[in-house]
Structure 1
């Protein structure tokens, strides 16, 4: 299966999945069968996004969020 994301989508999703994994995953996702795909997707995104380790990551993340938000 192939899922195609824009760079903005990938960085925003990666950030959200990272936060999800740092919580009590069992509290948020009640089916343990879903945990493995969550971890796999998050790991794939981390490898594909070297910017995660950039010093200006927070600014890049916020800029990506702004570009993805629908205009009012």
Structure 2
């Protein structure tokens, strides 16, 4: 972190599931859930970055892909 930026590495499953959750979060009244505007700014930035990096978001079988990713990420009982 020498240039003042932080890099976060995610698997494609993690990125897809996080992107889906962030999209749902942003569709709510985000200011009710996240009161501090300083926190909302990076949420939007992360969501935008994931949107650009994930072509799966626009795939016709998106629902199947997101569910498969969730299943792979859930710990086994």
Task: Give me the TM-score of the superposition, normalised by structure 2.
Answer: 0.92
| Number of aligned positions between the proteins | 72
Give structure 1 regions of 4+ aligned residues with deviation exceeding 6 angstroms: none
Give the aligned partner of residue 60 of structure 1.
65
For structure 2, the 5+ residue unaligned runs are: 1-5
Summarize the alignment of residues 1-72 of structure 1 with structure 2, pairs less than 5 Å apart: 1-72=6-77
Q: Whose radius of gyration is greater, 1 or 2?
A: 2
**As a proportion of its length, which structure holds more helix?**
1
